[in-house]
Amino acid sequence: MPFSDPHQLSLETVIAASPMLGHRLEDRTRIRDAQDTKLQKLWRDASTIPLRNASQQMDFVVAPLDVLVSREGAGPVFHIIELNGTGIGGVSNMPSEAIAAVTESLREVAANLAEPEKVLLLAVSGKECEKNPRLNKLMHEKLIFAQALAEGLRESLDDSQIVTLDGLGSGNQHYRPGAATVVVGYIKELLEACKVDSDHKIWLHGRQVVGAVNDRFCLNLLSKHLGKIDLAEFTPINGTFLAGGDKGLAYSLLDEYLTCQPQTCFPERVRHTHVHSREELINTVLQWQRLGRRTVIKPHGTGIGHGIEFFLNPHESTADVVARIDHSIELTEAYYGVTGGTFPYTLCEFVDSDVISSPGHRLDGHKYELRIVVYREGLSLRACPSIAKVASQRYAPQNLQRDGLINNITHTSVTTTADGADFMLPLCNRKTLQTLDLGIDQIAQLCCVATQYVRFAIECIGQMDQRLEAMRHGSNIEMPQSVLRRMTVAQTA
């Protein structure tokens, strides 16, 4: 029998014991085991592109894209609806090679940020609702990330440690003198516990915070202390966190990218707009309704479908529209602790996405979306199709239910008693491709665009400050001429 380190527990063991340790964790092994490594490698190689510049290496770890599929003509049309970021849920259903690349990037980034007695945060989504706080069922995935960060810190320093925000708060855990520390905590609680001083530095329980993993948390922290955080003293991991956390920014980047580099299997333009107040939100939804558009509203810096509303009925009364908008604002205000709601909201067009059409399949008739994870390996970007996320309810056009329109796995595992894994299909898998009627070449094309789009987002990091400022004032900002020129050259080459 091979020797195994008696001090190391397997993920499987931790998951098995989890109900006794705290709360039950979700096992995604069966999805991971069903990923076909041949397909994964094929798509990985087809999509690999170099970063434009070696200096961008520390700016990016991972972006799990959400992609809707529509069927308008002969083939599928792909709609990227979210960039997401290092708060990724579901690394444990990805092929192991891709997880290893992500943890290696985290190690590198942590080694680069390591300083004695400084803190890196690992922010975890959950506990949004006070009355019924959601515990994260993928906590073990976060621990993989925490371990990678701590190892990276130790590469540069003598000592590093991992503690929890709870432990620091209750006095059960302490910062070790001299050690760099990874603090794991829920987003909402970390947002409350972090203090910003007059030098624009962030502090947590007496130590300076120099970086944080989780795009949405970074965006929320910067939004909460707008203009008061010095980005020379604090590194959001990813540097693309604004687009990772704000769906509207991700749309803007996508629209700019597709305008310069039209792609087959993608829409020509991505219609969307940012709105900055309740009045503007109501007026714009009503205006779009009058124009016959089907609209989706998305709050700023939220997840798990929170606050997303679909306006699909052209005859819905103004009172009902306003009531649903107010419900969204109130919910996000409460869940995300933001007075006045999580503005700016993004308005976008509803994509009437594909349903699984496979008679006899247990998820026949359900809507789905694709998760394509773009990650960095050294100086390259690569894509890994991870899963198809399937809505928990069958799609019924005559009786539209919100749960039939939301393909968010965490949402499903909260609103039903089922495991997330029951509503996902491994994407590196020929049977799944057949079920979804998608071809290997079509996914390859999607993966290529995914890495190019993320590379474009990385190139725009330099103007993120301006974008944040613009968001504050409600204006749009132009893409820099240098980037425009390069894209135009690339297109004509």
Binding site for ligand ADP (CB under 6 A): 66, 68, 81-82, 247, 296, 298, 303-305, 308, 348, 350-351, 353, 369, 405-408
Binding at 191: pick from Mg ion, ligand ADP, none (beta carbon under 5-8 Å per type): none
The site string for Mg ion over 50-69 (x = CB under 5 A, - otherwise) reads ----------------x---
3-class DSSP assignment, residue 491: helix
Shortest Å, Cβ 435 to ligand ADP: 18
Taking the least distance from each CB to ligand ADP, the nearer of 357 and 475 is 357
The token pair that represents 392 in the structure block: 């928990």
Taking the least distance from each CB to ligand ADP, the nearer of 65 and 204 is 65
Contact present, 125 and 304 (Cβ < 8 Å): yes
Shortest Å, Cβ 466 to ligand ADP: 24
Taking the least distance from each CB to ligand ADP, the nearer of 353 and 386 is 353
Taking the least distance from each CB to Mg ion, the nearer of 205 and 411 is 411
Say which residues have a Cβ less than 8 Å from residue 393's Cβ, sequence separation at least 6.
Answer: 366, 401, 403, 404
Footprint of Mg ion on residues 135-154 (CB under 5 A)?
Answer: none
- How many angstroms separate the CA atoms of 304 and 349, rounded? 19
Binding at 298: pick from ligand ADP, Mg ion, none (beta carbon under 5-8 Å per type): ligand ADP
If binding is defined by CB under 5 A, does position 369 make contact with Mg ion?
A: no
The token pair that represents 469 in the structure block: 């400022």
- How many angstroms separate the CA atoms of 120 and 101, rounded? 20
Shortest Å, Cβ 310 to ligand ADP: 7
Taking the least distance from each CB to ligand ADP, the nearer of 298 and 376 is 298
Binding at 407: pick from ligand ADP, Mg ion, none (beta carbon under 5-8 Å per type): ligand ADP
Three-state secondary structure of 312-332: CCCCCCHHHHHHHHHHHHHHH
- How many angstroms separate the CA atoms of 77 and 313, rounded? 24
Shortest Å, Cβ 400 to ligand ADP: 11
Taking the least distance from each CB to Mg ion, the nearer of 173 and 238 is 238
If binding is defined by CB under 5 A, does position 459 make contact with Mg ion?
A: no
Taking the least distance from each CB to ligand ADP, the nearer of 353 and 429 is 353
Beta bridge partners, 70, equal 77
Shortest Å, Cβ 198 to Mg ion: 37
Taking the least distance from each CB to Mg ion, the nearer of 59 and 66 is 66
Shortest Å, Cβ 297 to ligand ADP: 10
- How many angstroms separate the CA atoms of 294 and 405, rounded? 13
Nearest to 123 by CA among 181, 175, 180, 189: 189
Q: Which stretch binds Mg ion (CB under 5 A): 79-87, 314-322, 466-474, 479-487?
A: 79-87
The token pair that represents 300 in the structure block: 């700023």
Q: Which stretch binds Mg ion (CB under 5 A): 18-26, 77-85, 165-173, 240-248?
A: 77-85
Shortest Å, Cβ 444 to Mg ion: 23
Contact present, 135 and 127 (Cβ < 8 Å): yes
If binding is defined by CB under 5 A, does position 82 make contact with Mg ion?
A: yes
- How many angstroms separate the CA atoms of 323 and 331, rounded? 12
Pairing label, strands 272-275, 345-349: antiparallel
Shortest Å, Cβ 19 to ligand ADP: 27
> Which helix (H) or strand (E) element contains residue 158?
none
CA 291 to chain centre: 31
- How many angstroms separate the CA atoms of 353 and 78, rounded? 9
Shortest Å, Cβ 37 to ligand ADP: 27
Binding at 351: pick from Mg ion, ligand ADP, none (beta carbon under 5-8 Å per type): ligand ADP
Rounded (5°) CA angle 472-473-478: 100
- How many angstroms separate the CA atoms of 101 and 132, rounded? 35
If binding is defined by CB under 5 A, does position 246 make contact with Mg ion?
A: no
Binding at 248: pick from ligand ADP, Mg ion, none (beta carbon under 5-8 Å per type): none
Interface with Mg ion by CB under 5 A: which residues? 66, 82
